[in-house]
C-alpha cells in the first residue's frame, strides 16, 4: 500500500515536471529563421507539403538527414533563392516562422494580431517579422511568396506600399522554380 502510494506520488510529480515542456512549442534555428512548430507531426506534414521538385537537385545533400535538417535546408535555400530573384541580399536576415497544424490556426493568429477575420492560408506580419504557415498548405510557391514579403520588408528602410509589397512577393513566388 505504502509502496504503491509513493509510486503514484512519484508519477504525479513526473507529470507535473514534464507537462510544461510537452505543451510548449519547439524551436528550430536555421541560418535565417527561427522555426517554431507545435509538434513533430506538424513539422513532418509541413516538410511533405513543401515539395522542392527539381530544385531539390540544387540543394546541398548531407546523408542521414532528419526532418528537422530537411526543413532547415529547404527554408534557407528558398530564402537565398528569393534574395537572388529579387536582387535584394540580406546576409544578416533573421525572421521567425510559425508552423501551425491547419489553416484555422493560422487564421486565428491573424485575428489575434489584426482583429480581422480572413481566409488566408499563410501570412507575414511585418510588425512581428514572422511568417505563419499551415502544415496542410505549405507548397513551395506559398512558402516563397511569404518569404518574398520578408525579404522586401527587411531590405527597405521604409516599408514599401502594400501593393508594391504584394508585387514583389508575387514575383518571388513566380520565379522560385526558375
Site of interaction with Zn ion (CB under 5 A): 166, 169
Copy the grid coordinates of residue 81: 533563392
Report residue 102 as a C-alpha cell.
491547419
Which strand (E) or helix (H) includes residue 174? helix 162-175
Rounded Cα–Cα distance for residues 75 and 71 (Å): 6
- Considering beta carbons, is residue 136 or 166 the nearer one to Zn ion? 166
Which is closer to Zn ion, CB of 28 or CB of 144? Answer: 144
Of 28 and 169, nearer to Zn ion (C-beta) is 169
- Short-list 85, 99, 121, 94, CA closest to 33: 94
By C-beta, is 99 or 169 nearer to Zn ion?
Answer: 169
The whole-angstrom separation of Cα 157 and Cα 136 is: 34
Cβ at position 169, least distance to Zn ion in Å = 4
Q: Give the residue closest to Zn ion by C-beta.
A: 169
The count of residues in the chain is: 178
Cβ 127 to Zn ion shortest distance, Å: 16
Least spacing, CB of residue 68 vs Zn ion, in Å: 27
Q: Are β-strands 33-37 and 26-29 bridged in parallel, bridged antiparallel, or unpaired?
A: antiparallel
Question: Minimum CB separation from Zn ion for residue 57, in Å?
Answer: 28
Amino acid at each position: 500500500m505504502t509502496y504503491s502510494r509513493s509510486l503514484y506520488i512519484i508519477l504525479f510529480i513526473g507529470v507535473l515536471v514534464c507537462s510544461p515542456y510537452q505543451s510548449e512549442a519547439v524551436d528550430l534555428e536555421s541560418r535565417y529563421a527561427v522555426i517554431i512548430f507545435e509538434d513533430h507531426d506538424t513539422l513532418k506534414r509541413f516538410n511533405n507539403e513543401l515539395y522542392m521538385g527539381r530544385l531539390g537537385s540544387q540543394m546541398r545533400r548531407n546523408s542521414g538527414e532528419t526532418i528537422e535538417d530537411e526543413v532547415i535546408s529547404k527554408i534557407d535555400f528558398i530564402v537565398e533563392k528569393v534574395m537572388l530573384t529579387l536582387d535584394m541580399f540580406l546576409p544578416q536576415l533573421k525572421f521567425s516562422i510559425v508552423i501551425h497544424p491547419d489553416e484555422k490556426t493560422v487564421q486565428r493568429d491573424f485575428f489575434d494580431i489584426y482583429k480581422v477575420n480572413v481566409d488566408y492560408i499563410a501570412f507575414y506580419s511585418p510588425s512581428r517579422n514572422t511568417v505563419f504557415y499551415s502544415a496542410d498548405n505549405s507548397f513551395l510557391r506559398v512558402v516563397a511568396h511569404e518569404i518574398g514579403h520578408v525579404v522586401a520588408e527587411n531590405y527597405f528602410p521604409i516599408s514599401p506600399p502594400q501593393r508594391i509589397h504584394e508585387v514583389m512577393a508575387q514575383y518571388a513566388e513566380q520565379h522560385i522554380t526558375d
